[in-house]
Structure 1
Amino acid sequence: MRRIAIVTDDPGWHGKRLRAALAARGYDDRYVSLTACKLDLETENFPVSLPGFADRLPDGVFVRGVPGGSLEQVVFYLDILHALSLLGIPVYNEGRAVERTVDKAMTSFLLHRAGIPTPPAWVLADPDTARHIAERELNAGHGVVSKPLFGSQGQGLRRYQTLDDLAGFSPDNGLFYLQRFVHCGEQPHDFRVFVIGDKAVAAMRRCGVTWLNNVHQGARCEPVRLDNRLLCRLAEDAVKALDMGYAGVDIIRDEHGRYSVLEVNSIPAWKGLQSVSEVSIADLLVEDFLRRLPARDTGAGALP
């Protein structure tokens, strides 16, 4: 039986659904924490060691989570994913995709470079220049959002609406990531579009209880039909620009009906989206993932 590694420290709801979808297709799996992996360069056979795969490396790796830590730790975790890819094992999403999207600065840069509409953003270390940018934006009638460069689920975001708000203006870990706030009307909301294999497969409207529209922050999920081709095409183009297998794309529509991409998530949760979607997102993910596996019975990384 072919075996899959599901990379996660907390399988939870998502891990159970991936496991069920894999089992329904005749695949065995193991949950693997990157904190328990190692590079073993003493012998030729297994330069990458994964718990639960003592006799052979997995046929494929589904990345459901990359743990936080020091810069050295995070780089090492991504090294494991890169090494598996170099050994010819399909990694979904691969390390390069995770790198491009866990870093909001690079995500914004690549979207901007590809011509994908995204709110104006500034990333810098100098406090005086950062404050000048914020003051300029506020004086022009724009709000400003400050975000940690690394982070998710709306944690650590700050919104500045007036010059008085800048009394608490400060960097996150020595850096400023500033983004122009997008007004979307009286009811705060944005859209999450789930893209698998370059195609939008599900979408929802997230209505926040505050200006934050993250489900983790209490936002209400509402279904969105996929016949909005402008919304879907924007999400699909963003994923193509970042060269990813699957992603959750956060899109906002301003008061004038213009769409822009806020963020692209390479390890997106979909529990909230599944609650308002008719399709099984885990099944679609697994089907696309398995199509990327090599068509052979012995499996990648087997001992000779």
Structure 2
Amino acid sequence: MTARGLRVAIFADEAGWHTRQLQAALRLRGAVGRCVDLADCHVDTTAAWHGLVIPGFGRELPDAAIVRGIAAGSFEQVTKRLGVLHALRELGVPVYNDARAIERSVDKSMTSLLLQAARVPAPPTWATESAAQAQRIVMRESAAGHALVLKPLFGSQGKGLQRIGCIDGTHHPLPPLQQVDGRLAYLQRFVPPQGVPGFDWRVLVVGGRAATAMRRVSEHWVHNVAQGARCVAAPLTPALAQAAEAAAAALGMDYAGVDLMPSAQGIVVLEVNGVAAWRGLQRVTSFNIAQALVADLIDRRLAQAVVRRA
């Protein structure tokens, strides 16, 4: 599909390497990418027929949008920002990934439910606001010799993770929920490393197809690049690709960074990232990832929108 003259909103709470990569990839297709903070967008039903104000686009809507980041804020602020993305989708603007997909992936409990419903292998997981119920889960798992990872329900880059339960034969108790972000327990059974040092995989899925993979290698049990893990190129095996593609499909993602681990039972999916960073992955990938994302947006999503309008 021709993209010359297309105006694309790149929604990001800060400009940086990723937004520059996307802008360069759009320029190669003859399109223009403008960075916009969703916090600066607002509703004004007197401003235009569609009722949205997107800075840099005047009274018009962008031809498409790429979501690169949504700033943290109050419940009301985040609801408004997601509402802008929902409105763009309803107005026929392709949003990559759209608000529904981002909501599914940001909420780890919803991710777990959708993976379970799609029969995608993942570690046993629990989410509860009841301190007593959470305590019973931890005690039961610990008695069976399992460790658990206590994760923030909304979180990324490996921040705020705690390992509890049975660790090296010693019981580590659940902290009081008053000290936990969100005051609820999202618990996932710890998947022990299959070797030393340990690793997990990050697989990038674009347009429903696994595109590239890497190992994130670390002596620490947290394997996020932001926490010091090393990026190592990894072959994209059929089993790895199938698991990542199934996870992305379960959440309805245009593109996704899927985190997976080897286990005694086979490959399991840990998380699905709907606003995935790819700087570390780019270092070990031979093709330009931003160009692949832009190509999928233009040649698949925008083309689908044109067909629907016709």
TM-score bracket, normalised by the shorter chain, equals: over 0.9
Q: Which residue of 1 aligns with 2:183?
A: 174
Q: Which residue of 2 aligns with 1:94?
A: 98
Q: Which residue of 1 aligns with 2:107?
A: 103
- The amino acid of 1:264's aligned partner reads V
Q: Over aligned residue pairs, what C-alpha RMSD do you find? A: 1.7
Q: How does 1:24-35 map to 2 (within 5 A)?
A: 24-35=28-39
TM-score normalised per structure 2: 0.92
Q: Is there any run of 5+ residues in structure 2 with no aligned partner, and where?
A: none
CA distance in 2, matches of 1:167, 1:79: 36
- The amino acid of 1:192's aligned partner reads R
Q: Which residue of 2 aligns with 1:243?
A: 252
CA distance in 2, matches of 1:44, 1:6: 21
Are the counterparts in 2 of residues 5 and 31 from structure 1 also a CA contact under 8 Å?
yes
Matched, 1:70 2:66: no
CA distance in 1, matches of 2:303, 2:103: 24
CA distance in 2, matches of 1:296, 1:285: 17
- Residue 160 of structure 1: CA displacement? 1.2
Change (3 A) 1:90 1:296: closer
Q: Which residue of 2 aligns with 1:184?
A: 193
1:234 is paired with a residue of what secondary structure?
A: helix
- The amino acid of 2:173's aligned partner reads L
Q: Which residue of 2 aligns with 1:286?
A: 294
Q: Which residue of 1 aligns with 2:16?
A: 12
1:41 is paired with a residue of what secondary structure?
A: coil
- Residue 11 of structure 1: CA displacement? 2.0
CA distance in 2, matches of 1:211, 1:161: 15
Are the counterparts in 1 of residues 47 and 59 from structure 2 also a CA contact under 8 Å?
no
TM-score normalised per structure 1: 0.93
1:225 to 209, 212, 235: 235
1:194 to 177, 180, 204: 204
Are the counterparts in 2 of residues 204 and 222 from structure 1 also a CA contact under 8 Å?
yes
Matched, 1:266 2:270: no
Give the 4+ runs in structure 1 shifted more than 4 A.
294-297
Q: Which residue of 1 aligns with 2:54?
A: 50
CA distance in 2, matches of 1:201, 1:123: 32
CA distance in 2, matches of 1:160, 1:271: 31
Change (3 A) 1:135 1:295: closer
2:23 is paired with a residue of what secondary structure?
A: helix
Matched, 1:118 2:126: no
Considering Cα pairs closer than 8 Å and 6+ residues apart, tell me whether 1 or 2 has the greater RCO. Answer: 1
Report % sequence identity: 46
